[in-house]
Structure 1
Amino acid sequence: MARPPRLCTCGKIVAHNQRCECQTMQTRQRNKRHDRKRPTAAQRGYNNAWRKARDAFLKINDRCAWPRCGALATVVDHIVAHRGDKVRFWDRSNWQPLCKPCHDRRKQKQERA
């Protein structure tokens, strides 16, 4: 059974499980404001030294560490977010290999919770 459409705060009728154009625009604007304040990847420590360490780590740990995944790992994830702490950033015991889908979906969802 299909669920009925809903009324957005802007007054438009929107199908169930869909976002209104105004909500999409608000999200984009909020993300742009956040990105303007955020330091670059290099400023956050993801420089050439990181890329070399990352590549070496992924040669040894080539499979996704997420349970029941086992896909080819392409991302080195910090298990506990380093939040700019250089000691935690370079602590290899805090690294885990993940595939891109697991990092982008599951890990980010876990961090937001």
Structure 2
Amino acid sequence: MPKPPRLCSCGAIVPHGVLCACQQARQLERKRRYDRTRPTASQRGYNGEWRKLRAEFLRLHPTCAFCGADAEHVDHKVRHRGNKALLLNWNNLQSLCAHCHVSTKQRMERAADNAACEKC
């Protein structure tokens, strides 16, 4: 049985699991504010050296490490957080498809963050 629609804070009735237009607008603005404060890709270390390494890694590892689909992203197994040694470490890289990069990997990182937070 499908879940019933819900009432948004703006008064609109929206289907279960769907964002209201006002919620979408707030979410978009929140992301824009975050992007304005975020360092550029080159400031985070993704320079020409990284682009060459990335292209070579994708050439040698063309499929997703999780699902086997065509890979589009080169991901760091351990987040580098500005550490150039981790950023450019070949053994710290894995090829991922777009779906696994934005869903599976992010879910794994959130779970690891939550587990680390519970230890505090």
CA distance in 2, matches of 1:98, 1:4: 36
CA distance in 2, matches of 1:15, 1:39: 37
Instruction: Give percent identity, aligned residues only.
Output: 52
**Would you say how many aligned residue pairs link Structure 1 and Structure 2?**
111
Answer with 13-22 or 29-38: which moved more. Answer: 13-22
Normalising by the residue count of structure 1, what TM-score does the alignment of the two structures yield? 0.86
Normalising by the residue count of structure 2, what TM-score does the alignment of the two structures yield? 0.82
Structure 1 partner of 2:38: 38
Stretches (4+) displaced over 6 A: none
Structure 2 partner of 1:64: 64
Unaligned stretches of 5+ in structure 1? none
| RMSD of equivalent CA atoms | 1.5
CA distance in 2, matches of 1:55, 1:25: 36
CA distance in 2, matches of 1:18, 1:75: 28
Contact 2:53/2:88 (<8 A) preserved: no
Unaligned stretches of 5+ in structure 2? 112-120
1:1-113 superposed matches below 5 A? 1-66=1-66, 69-113=67-111
